[in-house]
Chain A
């Protein structure tokens, strides 16, 4: 495990796959969008291949060592998806393809059918097809999804195949992972709500399978069930929402619906009341998928059972699905472009849900000691930021201030990008830490019982001072945390600033209801500063808190590369993209990335000025408060409690060394009294939400479920059994006619012929 030799030769099979897309791209007059189907089809083909080969050859040495139990095949499929995506993104960013008239590209018509309407007449031909819808939102999410899925698959090859407990069944993981990727890509590319929903459910299924990967563990099985059922609640509402939409517009195609959202089927003006409920239902679906209050309970549990890898794909990719759905709804409310007015309440609700979740998740993260759970709650909290941003975007677009609306929409989606990259990297790094701690523990207690229940490799109270042992991981985690916190100039700062400022702007413009979310997310900014710093300090700074730490080594190569790539993107991607005007691009204000006619220097200065010294005085106040809270107060508090020098003789690298030393400078503070307070306990119990739900479910759903189980067993099954036994009886009877004697057959044929005559004569007289 620890010593892994260079295995890059294993990547050779990837080469033919990597050639496919450049070959297509170099063909004259080939358009990238014409090949968008490759993104979905590549994993679709690979999924059964991995599963079948894995099932047949799962003991084979070549399969295990050279093909990494299907990991290489999965990586190959994802490399096709990724390279196609990069081609498309490239085409759009440099302006080859024009985003304004890209829209639909239907590449498959499955079934066309006539619809019987309620007045028993036949409506026009409806076509159930699959198509591709490409705009800046699709591009961004597609890139995030394909890129992260590719890196996660790479990471998983290193992580999964060295894990001894899933002996010989990793092909199941890779197959499910590839199917999951397919669901995500398909959902992003779908050109109608129906296929979006179908792929959404594919993802839901795979998330169930992946969380429950170690199905023999009770905690994993329970977590899988919990995630599945909780998201299912949202999905039911999502489906209702789709039905209402269909009722309004008579179609679920984006092209039809978004063409003119203010006119429904048959040219009737759309009522804002009905549309409001449709949007609300869709939003509840998104809340379930993105783990927002009150359907947030599944995400932390999803971390509990299985691997960091599945944690990764949930926290970094799948949860974005809900955000994507809400962002898709913008045209409905955009009164600048034929939207339906009178829906500002919807925006407020979205913003409030976001604000509440952000605050709640951040406060729960204060007391978590499990490194992955801190990240899980941080994910919830950051997603909630984006929801708040989208909520204000909805509000602005619906009240007519489309400049502010587009800006905050762009900022929110940009935050989605930054967060996905940073969080993907953080989960990988935490996986790397856990992996090594676990390994070091096994190494230390060699020969003792393998399943040592007293030691938890995910508990940060067993870590401390790892910075010197794992230079790459600790650097990566530092940049990731900085991006999440929103340290100026790094990653998430550029987007988070925008969201907070615009939410306050909505309040300043006279919407008092916006004050709540605005205050909540401002406070959360400071809390983020605290809990992210706390996590880093507890893990990497200070004295080692267990003997395990001395035996830790840096991770294997398969784990290192994705970390480095993501660190780079996280560290400078935010600034670079902000300078290139990503926010305008994401909100469809501009059609490709450019410097807007400025020189690079001017543009950088412009961005800096915009970020630190906005013209509006009030916004300047908000901005600097945010920076103060998140940059100064939060981290310093964390440093006082958890910071400290490394053990004597240990040295961290220059990227993180300064931070470790700095954390020692602020003195220490004893917070035992706070940690033992009832508040801390309440937070530790996740604010009793799980208990509450459990109580409610035990009192309502369970008795009802028992009732329906009884009904099912005795009434429904009884009827079915009756039908079955009658059918079997009938079957036995009717087969008696087939005597095996030719004369009987001829007799029957004669009887049949006579019946035919009787019928022909009888009917026609």
Chain B
């Protein structure tokens, strides 16, 4: 069937993406269904054309887009989960276990984001835009109402575009395709951040995020063009074999990779490109911030891993970017943790914490780049990185879900908003505390397991490098390879991070709340929070962690074999 761009076998491989594509069209159409008719000219026969006219009761329901997109993401997640066949789709996409697990990460984060918006944006009609004549209180009220109701459909259309872009980028084998997909996801996420354009912070955050992001993208695309200049082909295979062939590193290629590091460094939130991130997180609504902290971060790491490991990692010896990434990682984690210490905005704290977590994962990448890693050790560290990205969806997004719940009745940009949460909502506060502990890496939670795997991998790589005949610890520390210090930095930073994670627990349990009434009855959101809390525990210890680690292992195998 040549008129289709895909044959059946290929279509089967990308069912989740196709679902999102069809869903994108559906969600544009569905809210417009109405009783419009078309009269056939010269006759009296009216043919119902469905689009336009008075909308049906069902299609005019403002909650419908939310339900549709929840259905779409759940279907995409489900089909991603049961998929077992892998292969090429066209010239630029390849479905592997690696891409599949990232599809799952993205769709899971999007499912959570959709659930979180269900109750954040209650359905209301007859809303008016504030005018200059309104008093201040009326203006605020109107703005609040607008935030609650506006552009329901738009939000979900953009959300699906984010999903589509991210999911396709994880399977791109061509740098150009990769970049286009990243831009699809990024531009959509800029809009999401600025979605509350009526408020000052929302518009400002979106604008800032857009400006810095587009500068980073421009730099990245310039790097890509240099790479094209050097190689003449941007497919990852071609780039990688060209890189292997060249004896020394061509300056053009080196500069190109450096420029792309800037672009992707912005995506993962590495210092010093992370500065717009805290502003964006605190300006955006919590579900969007959660999306940025989990899915967007995972996307950046896919890109980084493609460039740093698939393309430029030499067969043996140190990669030329080793010390750069190592220094960036240490600066990133320290910066993130330090900045979070005195922050009083929970969203900013979480933003900085996700900067710190990016630092931990970069440390893993750097350890691989040291060239000391055996194949086993390299797999271990890659497993740790991907596993960390997976579990972040559970507890980082879980924390943002709690903030979403707070947002349903007001604001969540002050630590005071969390005061006494344990008294008002014991279950929610308990879950939040669990998320904080997991972020800090307390056993037996999943955050501990991922951090443990990471440190274990890095120590494993550095093992055997220290002198064995030294007499004191100091001598050994001096003689050991610098990779070891990455693990050391992670441990020190974890200790530092405890300070602000536990502070959130402290204010929740020991401060007096302003009012003691329980919060809004956002049922599905509560279910999602408790589910995340449960997963935080059972992915950390138990049979589920085994099967998940097995999935991640498969992903790593398929990634390395490329």
Which A residues are within 8 Å of any B CB, using their own CB?
52, 55-56, 108-111, 113-114, 116, 119-122, 724, 727-728, 730-732, 734-735, 737-738, 740, 742, 744-746, 748-749, 751-753, 756-757, 759-761, 763-764
Are B323 and A749 neighbours in the complex by a CB distance under 8 Å?
Answer: no
Are A122 and B460 neighbours in the complex by a CB distance under 8 Å?
Answer: yes
Q: Any chain A CB within 8 A of the CB of B255?
A: yes
A121 to B465, CA, bound (A): 9
- Binding-face segment, B29-37, B176-184, B270-278: B270-278
Chain B residues closer than 8 Å to A109, beta-carbon distance: 546
- Binding-face segment, B108-116, B159-167, B333-341: B333-341
Q: Any chain A CB within 8 A of the CB of B343?
A: yes
Give, as a whole number of angstroms, the nearest-CB distance from A44 to chain B: 11
Are A108 and B543 neighbours in the complex by a CB distance under 8 Å?
Answer: yes
Are A742 and B208 neighbours in the complex by a CB distance under 8 Å?
Answer: yes
A56 to B423, CA, bound (A): 10
Give, as a whole number of angstroms, the nearest-CB distance from B513 to chain A: 16
Interface string of B254-297 (1 = CB under 8 A from A): 11011101100110000111011011000000000000000000
Q: Say what secondary structure dominates the interface of chain B.
A: helix
Chain B residues closer than 8 Å to A760, beta-carbon distance: 254, 257-258, 320-321, 324
Q: 6 interchain pairs (CB within 8 A)?
A: A121-B464, A738-B279, A749-B262, A752-B272, A757-B258, A760-B321
Are B208 and A745 neighbours in the complex by a CB distance under 8 Å?
Answer: yes
List residues of B (405-462) whose CB comes within 8 Å of A's CBs. Answer: 426-427, 430, 444, 449, 452, 456, 459-460
Which B residues are within 8 Å of any A CB, using their own CB?
207-208, 211-212, 215-216, 219, 249, 254-255, 257-259, 261-262, 265-266, 271-273, 275-276, 278-279, 320-324, 327-328, 335, 338-343, 426-427, 430, 444, 449, 452, 456, 459-460, 463-464, 466, 468, 496, 499, 541-543, 545-546
Known A-B contacts A759-B327, A763-B323; A742 and B207 likewise in contact (beta carbons under 8 Å): yes
Chain A residues closer than 8 Å to B339, beta-carbon distance: 731, 734-735, 738
Chain B residues closer than 8 Å to A728, beta-carbon distance: 341-342
Give, as a whole number of angstroms, the nearest-CB distance from B274 to chain A: 9
A760 to B258, CA, bound (A): 8
Which one of B211, B216, B426, B463 lies within 8 Å of A56 (CB-CB)? Answer: B426
A753 to B444, CA, bound (A): 39
Are A111 and B449 neighbours in the complex by a CB distance under 8 Å?
Answer: yes
A744 to B212, CA, bound (A): 10
A316 to B542, CA, bound (A): 32
Which one of A110, A114, A731, A746 lies within 8 Å of B338 (CB-CB)? Answer: A731
A111 to B496, CA, bound (A): 25
Chain B residues closer than 8 Å to A740, beta-carbon distance: 208, 279
Chain A residues closer than 8 Å to B255, beta-carbon distance: 757
Which one of B459, B463, B542 lies within 8 Å of A108 (CB-CB)? Answer: B542
Chain A residues closer than 8 Å to B342, beta-carbon distance: 728, 731-732, 735
- A-B pairs, top 9 by smallest CB distance, nearest first, are A731-B341, A752-B272, A731-B342, A745-B275, A759-B324, A742-B208, A742-B211, A748-B272, A731-B338
Chain A residues closer than 8 Å to B340, beta-carbon distance: 731
Give, as a whole number of angstroms, the nearest-CB distance from A665 to chain B: 64
Which one of B249, B266, B427, B459 lies within 8 Å of A116 (CB-CB)? Answer: B459
Chain B residues closer than 8 Å to A52, beta-carbon distance: 426-427, 430
A446 to B427, CA, bound (A): 44
Are B278 and A738 neighbours in the complex by a CB distance under 8 Å?
Answer: yes
Q: Which residue of B lies closest to A748 (CB)?
A: B272
Are A727 and B338 neighbours in the complex by a CB distance under 8 Å?
Answer: yes
Chain B residues closer than 8 Å to A113, beta-carbon distance: 452, 456
Chain B residues closer than 8 Å to A742, beta-carbon distance: 207-208, 211-212, 276
Q: Which residue of B lies closest to A761 (CB)?
A: B254
A731 to B275, CA, bound (A): 14
Q: Which residue of B lies closest to A738 (CB)?
A: B275
Give, as a whole number of angstroms, the nearest-CB distance from B218 to chain A: 11
A119 to B323, CA, bound (A): 28
Are A110 and B444 neighbours in the complex by a CB distance under 8 Å?
Answer: yes
Are B216 and A749 neighbours in the complex by a CB distance under 8 Å?
Answer: yes
Chain B residues closer than 8 Å to A752, beta-carbon distance: 262, 265, 271-273
Q: Which residue of B lies closest to A732 (CB)?
A: B342
Chain B residues closer than 8 Å to A737, beta-carbon distance: 272, 275
Give, as a whole number of angstroms, the nearest-CB distance from A307 to chain B: 27
Q: Which residue of A lies closest to B270 (CB)?
A: A752
Q: Which residue of B lies closest to A749 (CB)?
A: B273
Known A-B contacts A738-B339, A760-B320; A745 and B276 likewise in contact (beta carbons under 8 Å): yes
A544 to B426, CA, bound (A): 53
Are B212 and A749 neighbours in the complex by a CB distance under 8 Å?
Answer: yes
A757 to B324, CA, bound (A): 9
Chain A residues closer than 8 Å to B496, beta-carbon distance: 727
Chain B residues closer than 8 Å to A745, beta-carbon distance: 208, 212, 275-276
Q: Which residue of B lies closest to A735 (CB)?
A: B339
Are B323 and A759 neighbours in the complex by a CB distance under 8 Å?
Answer: yes
Known A-B contacts A745-B208, A746-B215, A764-B254; A120 and B272 likewise in contact (beta carbons under 8 Å): no
A116 to B377, CA, bound (A): 14
A119 to B464, CA, bound (A): 8
Are B543 and A730 neighbours in the complex by a CB distance under 8 Å?
Answer: no
Q: Which residue of B lies closest to A730 (CB)?
A: B338
Chain A residues closer than 8 Å to B212, beta-carbon distance: 742, 745-746, 749
Give, as a whole number of angstroms, the nearest-CB distance from A272 to chain B: 31
Are B323 and A110 neighbours in the complex by a CB distance under 8 Å?
Answer: no
Chain B residues closer than 8 Å to A108, beta-carbon distance: 541-543
Q: Which residue of A lies closest to B448 (CB)?
A: A111
Are A735 and B343 neighbours in the complex by a CB distance under 8 Å?
Answer: yes
Are B324 and A756 neighbours in the complex by a CB distance under 8 Å?
Answer: yes
Chain A residues closer than 8 Å to B265, beta-carbon distance: 752
A731 to B343, CA, bound (A): 9
A763 to B327, CA, bound (A): 12
A339 to B276, CA, bound (A): 67
Give, as a whole number of angstroms, the nearest-CB distance from B250 to chain A: 11
Chain B residues closer than 8 Å to A111, beta-carbon distance: 449, 452
A756 to B340, CA, bound (A): 25
Chain A residues closer than 8 Å to B427, beta-carbon distance: 52
Are B468 and A119 neighbours in the complex by a CB distance under 8 Å?
Answer: yes
Are B320 and A764 neighbours in the complex by a CB distance under 8 Å?
Answer: yes
Q: Which residue of A lies closest to B266 (CB)?
A: A749
Chain A residues closer than 8 Å to B323, beta-carbon distance: 759, 763
A122 to B380, CA, bound (A): 15
Q: Which residue of A lies closest to B324 (CB)?
A: A759
A738 to B255, CA, bound (A): 28
Are A749 and B324 neighbours in the complex by a CB distance under 8 Å?
Answer: no
Chain A residues closer than 8 Å to B426, beta-carbon distance: 52, 55-56
Give, as a whole number of angstroms, the nearest-CB distance from B160 to chain A: 28
Which one of A122, A727, A756, A764 lies within 8 Å of B464 (CB-CB)? Answer: A122
Give, as a whole number of angstroms, the nearest-CB distance from B243 to chain A: 14
